[in-house]
């Protein structure tokens, strides 16, 4: 039934307004669709036109639930980050399939020490970024746009609790948590960029080949202008992402414990 054409004389032969949707639109459903679009079509794939098509609606309906595109991107970012942090907070016991605990952790650490929890949080974000290559860009944009938005407190809170649990005196909480958060987001983001670029530039090429090419590019820089880059190019090719990421976290953690826990000189 194509509906009764009650207004015959209208100038615009409005193709009869499509019947109203039965399944209600909601901010949640919109954000969900946005995340899927970002995942499948990339950062540039999230378009209000693509969104209207996927949700079988018009722009107006979407704008009724969401103020603008920035807010939509923020909401999508927040949703993914919240899920990542929640997942890591709830399942610390079981050794996940991704975190490879081959590397011997420091000996004097209890299994659920704050250090371990911080590593779990970091890897949670690391994995989320790997699953959603658009995440680091949006995180950076959101940190620049509104540092007090919803995402920043979320991450700071998760990391900060463990900083407190470490025994860091209150006066240094902000410094310690900042150092951790900035390192985690920066390193995870750059790593994801490597993966994403490998995928984008040559779909068939795997990570190793890509890193090989990038390493070679670095080695071809003028050794006079870039002696250090030249030297670390080899390391870059061989490095293991997660191991390297963990090593960086340990650097920051060691710095925190050494500087802010005068009682426990040295490591851990």
- 254 burial level (CB within 10 Å; 0-12, 13-18, 19+): middle
The CB-of-194 to a second copy minimum distance in angstroms stands at: 6
To the nearest 10°, the Cα dihedral for 67, 65, 36, 125? 60
Q: Does 207 bind a second copy (CB under 8 A)?
A: no
Q: Does 35 bind a second copy (CB under 8 A)?
A: no
Answer yes or no: are the C-beta atoms of 74 and 150 closer than 8 Å: yes
Considering only CA atoms, give the Rg of the chain. 24
- 152 burial level (CB within 10 Å; 0-12, 13-18, 19+): middle
**Integer Cα distance of 250 and 268 in angstroms:** 9
Residue 49's binding partner among DNA, a second copy, none (Cβ under 5 to 8 angstroms by kind) is: DNA
**Integer Cα distance of 195 and 210 in angstroms:** 8
Site map 241..260 versus a second copy, x via CB under 8 A = ---x--xx-xxxxxxx-xxx
Residue placing its CB nearer to DNA in the complex, 16 or 145: 16
Residue placing its CB nearer to a second copy in the complex, 41 or 232: 232
Q: 9 to 48, contacts with DNA by CB under 7 A? A: 10, 12, 14-21, 24-25, 46-48
Q: 50 to 109, contacts with DNA by CB under 7 A? A: 50, 52, 55-61, 63-65, 68-70
Q: Does 237 bind a second copy (CB under 8 A)?
A: no
- The dihedrals phi and psi of 150, each to the nearest 5 degrees, come to -80, -30
Residue placing its CB nearer to a second copy in the complex, 105 or 254: 254
Q: Does 121 bind a second copy (CB under 8 A)?
A: no
* Residue 137 token pair: 């860009």
Residue from 137, 199, 212, 261 touching a second copy (CB under 8 A): that is: 137
Site map 216..235 versus a second copy, x via CB under 8 A = -xx--x---xxxxx-xx--x
The CB-of-12 to DNA minimum distance in angstroms stands at: 6
Burial 179-203 (b: 16+ CB within 10 A, else e): bbbebbbebbbebbeebbebbeeee
Residue 172 gets which letter from DSSP? G
Residue 65's binding partner among a second copy, DNA, none (Cβ under 5 to 8 angstroms by kind) is: DNA
* Residue 110 token pair: 């209890």
Sequence-ordered list of residues with C-beta below 8 angstroms from that of 57, at least 6 positions apart, any chain: 21, 25
Q: Which residues bind a second copy (CB under 8 A)?
A: 136-137, 140-141, 143-148, 153, 156-157, 160-161, 163-164, 170-179, 181-183, 185-187, 189-190, 192-194, 196-197, 214, 217-218, 221, 225-229, 231-232, 235-236, 239, 244, 247-248, 250-256, 258-260, 265-267
């Amino acid at each position: 039934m194509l509906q009764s054409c009650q207004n015959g004389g209208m100038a615009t032969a409005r193709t009869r307004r499509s019947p109203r949707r039965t399944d209600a639109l909601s901010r949640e459903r919109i954000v969900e669709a946005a995340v899927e679009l970002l995942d499948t079509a990339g950062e540039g794939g999230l378009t209000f036109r693509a969104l209207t098509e996927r949700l079988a609606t018009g722009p107006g309906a979407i704008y009724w639930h969401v103020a603008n595109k920035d807010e939509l991107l923020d909401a999508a970012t927040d949703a993914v980050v919240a899920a990542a942090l929640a997942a890591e907070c709830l399942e610390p016991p079981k050794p996940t399939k991704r975190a490879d605990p081959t590397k011997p952790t420091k000996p004097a650490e209890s299994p659920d020490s704050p250090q371990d929890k911080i590593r779990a949080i970091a890897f949670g974000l690391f994995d989320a970024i790997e699953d959603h290559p658009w995440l680091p860009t949006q995180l950076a944009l959101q940190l620049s746009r509104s540092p007090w938005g919803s995402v920043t407190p979320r991450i700071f809170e998760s990391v900060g609790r463990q900083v407190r649990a470490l025994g860091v005196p209150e006066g240094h909480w902000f410094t310690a948590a900042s150092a951790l958060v900035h390192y985690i987001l920066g390193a995870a983001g750059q790593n994801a960029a490597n993966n994403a670029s490998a995928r984008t530039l040559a779909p068939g090429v795997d990570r190793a080949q890509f890193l090989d090419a990038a390493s070679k590019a670095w080695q071809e820089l003028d050794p006079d202008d870039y002696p250090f880059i030249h030297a670390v190019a080899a390391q870059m090719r061989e490095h293991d992402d997660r191991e390297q990421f963990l090593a960086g976290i340990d650097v920051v953690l060691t710095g925190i414990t050494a500087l802010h826990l005068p009682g426990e000189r040295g490591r851990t």
